Every structure is written in C-alpha cells, then in structure tokens.
Homo-oligomer: A and B are copies of this chain.
C-alpha cells in the first residue's frame, strides 16, 4: 500500500495540498487526517467554511477508495451529502476520520466524521464512489 509520505506528496500540488490537509493514518477501511482552520478557509465570523469541510471529507473518501481499487481501475465521486452540526474556529485544528461503509466492485461508500479541537462532531459527510475501468 502507498505510504503516508507518498500520499502526502500526491496531494501536495492539488486542492487538498492547498488547503493544508495532512493525512495521518492510511488503512484500507479507515483514513484519518487533520487540517488547520486557516483564516482563508473560513466564512464570516471566523469559522471553517462549509465548503472546506466538504472538500476535506471528499479528499478522505477518495483516498480511501483509491487504497481499495483493483489494478487498472479508477474512481470518481458520484454523490456526497453532508450534515453540518457544529463550528470550528480559526486557528484550531479539525480532524477527520473516514470509514468505509461499503467496498464493492462497482461502488464504495465512505463516511467522514469531522471533529473540532474539543472533539465535538462538526460535520458528517457520506459519499458514493463509482469504480470505473481505466487508470486514474
């Protein structure tokens, strides 16, 4: 399996890299990461922008799917749904844990729970990944 370092290098030039996503655990059924709530990731009021939660989670669910792809397959997200529950303040760190609810041949379903520095659940994102033929 790909190492944490190699994954981080893949993400670096992409949107997750620009947002500062740091993957800290990689396993076929679970991906963990954290992200500093920088001011430029916030919305009015100095709290993490809803879109930043969703982009953070989308990254983790896609990474988790890639870890499970058979040779010669690639993946795309077909849908994502998010419930927003609590806020995360600028200057703090949020953590995200994405777990596989389903790992099938045609689709995978990953759910990411994002918590703020106090450990409070801020957002839950559930996404479906389609498994397609062809290199990614």
Contacts and interface: CB of A to CB of B under 8 A. Distances in A.
A8 interface: no
A62 B51 CA distance: 11
Copies held by the complex: 4
Interface string A71-88: 000001111111111100
A18 to B, nearest CB: 4
Interface string A94-105: 000000011010
Interface residues of A, number: 50
Contact of A107 (B58, B82, B102, B130): B130
| Chain A binding surface, main DSSP class | mixed
Nearest to A81: B81
B81 A126 contact: yes
A25 B101 CA distance: 23
Contact of A79 (B62, B78, B104, B106): B78
Interface in A86-135: 86, 101-102, 104, 106-107, 109, 111, 121, 124, 126, 128, 130, 132
A14 interface: yes
A82 B59 CA distance: 15
A13 B45 CA distance: 12
